[in-house]
Amino acid sequence: MTTEKTAEAEPAPSSGSGGDAAVHPRRRGWLTFLRDVVVIILIAVLVSFLVKTFLVRSFYIPSGSMKDTLHIDDRILVDEITPRFGGYDHGDIVVFQDPGGWLPPSSDPARPPVVEAIDWVLALVGLSAPDSDDHLVKRIIGLPGDHVICCNTLGQITVNGVPIDETDYIVVPTGESAASGDTFDITVPADSLWVLGDNRYQSKDSRYNQDQPGDGFVPIDNVVGRAFLVTWPLDRFGMLDFHHDDFAGVPEPSEEKPAP
């Protein structure tokens, strides 16, 4: 008769080593999860920063100078690609930095550091627009080289000898028909713009800043971009109308026609 040898049983793991094996993977799992969350947040912030810096910015409207196209406290998106890679057209609505002397000195009280820090972070990702009060928004009436006059016998502004019918977007007081209460006759310098507000008698625009260092013209380098969308309030959500058709007949500066 033969006998069968059996292998010695493996010693059972102690309860202490088993607890460590259960805790360590769980801990590593939470650390990996937290790491991934932090990475996702950082990537989102970076993408938002790049979009805000190079593509689109948000601004709010602090005044009624563009009524009825834009209302006070409207939130708008501004296309920043245009000033870098393309040109502008008559009728475009642009946001630009103060060329100097257009805005009064700020008298807002200093905010607590915590509020400033939160606003800075929100602005970094495009959710806040703390510099809106340092910018202006107007409509382009004159491009470089244009000869712009106000007004002809019908009260219309002419650009290079062609009258512009602005009745579908400007606001004038009851009883007034002229597109501007102030007359002007200017030629836009190179690399500059002549801009007016749609609320034509309530807008401190190029007409009212001709005594400033820039003579009322806006350097194109000061332009942040072209506003294209109202995002807030929701009942006003929609694309902005540049009314390019109203300027369709305007010739190049060298082809100016005699004013009527």
List residues with catalytic annotation.
65, 138
Rounded Cα–Cα distance for residues 38 and 20 (Å): 27
For the chain, state the CA radius of gyration: 30
Beta strands in the chain (DSSP E): 56-60, 75-79, 93-97, 135-142, 147-150, 157-159, 162-164, 184-187, 192-196, 218-219, 223-232, 238-239
Handedness of CA 12, 15, 16, 18 (dihedral sign): positive
- Identity (one letter) of the amino acid at 215? D
Specify the residue for token string 């502008």: 88
Other Cβ atoms less than 10 A from the Cβ of 205: the count is: 23
